[in-house]
Amino acid sequence: MQIVRWIIGSTIFVALLFLSLQNSEPAHLKFYNLWEWTAPLIFVVLIAFALGVAAGLLAGAFRTSRVKRELKRLHRDRTQAGPLSTGGPPSRPYDGA
């Protein structure tokens, strides 16, 4: 599994390297007439990619924390309820008839 991770990482790195070599023209970003920024196109693309990854990780972290809180609540409720009991006599096993 470790070798697959290295192969995928190396492939992504080489692809981004070729992308950066091919897209070195300046890109002009304008936010209405208030702000203007000029940077190489690959820099803009990589920043957009990094922001997307960060947003995805943040969303995953929120989901993970919500699931952990729910598990703690369920565990607390179960331990406070005590042992499970049906309150009646044990049922007979089903014999198929």
Please name the amino acid found at residue 86. T
Q: Quick check: 82 pLDDT over 70?
A: no
pTM of the model: 0.54
Taking the C-alpha atoms of residue 56 and residue 54, their distance in angstroms, rounded to an integer, is 5
More confident residue, 28 or 42: 28
Residues in contact with 8: Cβ distance below 8 Å, sequence separation at least 6, in sequence order: none
Residues 6+ apart with CB under 8 A from 23: 40, 41, 42, 45
Query: Cα–Cα distance between 45 and 33 in angstroms, integer?
Result: 22
